[in-house]
Amino acid sequence: MLKVFQSPWRWYLLALVVIALDVVTKVWAVERFMYGPALQIIPGFLQFTYAENYGAAFSFLADAGGWQRWLFGAIALVFSVVVVVWISRISPAKRWEPTALALILGGALGNLWDRIVLGYVRDFISVYYGNWHFPVFNVADVAISVGAAMLVIELLFFSDRDNKSSENSAEV
């Protein structure tokens, strides 16, 4: 089997797929929606549009004057290095945890690319109901959210099982 598909390279490859999907969809959104109308996917609930986020999650510090670009970029870079090392140290038998981390890594690097190159993150997925609007987000944000949810599920439901199996293998 190719080394790329052996641990941890397969997880880094998954992160690269997330980055590529994020970049491609952002380019599409800019071309399609920057100067055009939104596209209703599910009327009254979901649309594709275009937004620029100069802050972090939910536009946190969006109007802080520009320094936040470098702060959030540095945080994303340090966090990404930590995740790369974390993935490299995970048992090759594990699947759930490294998948979650690869999704988070890909999402973090996808948004980091925007933040460093453009100074803001391109968002285009809008969920709303009536006058209520969730902040506009992108594929990288979805990957980060799904990965984070997977890590929480791992911690709540599977960490005891993993600890018991590693204790049993240590006893043998």
Q: 6-26: per-residue pLDDT in tens?
A: 668 899 999 999 999 999 999
| Residues contacting residue 135 through CB under 8 Å, at least 6 positions apart | 53, 57, 58, 59, 123
**Residue 11 tokens, joined:** 């997880």
Task: Report if residue 128 sits inside a domain.
Answer: yes
Helix (H, G, I), strand (E, B) or coil at 137: strand
Task: Report if residue 122 sits inside a domain.
Answer: yes
Range of the domain at 114: 10-38+48-171
Task: Report if residue 4 sits inside a domain.
Answer: no
Task: Report if residue 27 sits inside a domain.
Answer: yes
Instruction: Work out how many domains the chain is built from and give that number.
Output: 1
Does the annotation mark 141 as catalytic?
Answer: yes
pLDDT in tens, 69-120: 677 778 888 989 999 998 999 888 888 899 999 999 999 999 999 988 998 8
Task: Report if residue 1 sits inside a domain.
Answer: no
Q: Regarding beta strands 39-42 and 121-129, do their DSSP bridges make them parallel or antiparallel, or are they unpaired?
A: unpaired
Annotated catalytic residue within 22, 114, 141, 160: 141
Task: Report if residue 91 sits inside a domain.
Answer: yes
Does the annotation mark 123 as catalytic?
Answer: yes
Helix (H, G, I), strand (E, B) or coil at 98: helix
Annotated catalytic residue within 22, 63, 114, 123: 123
CB 33 within 8 A of CB 52: no
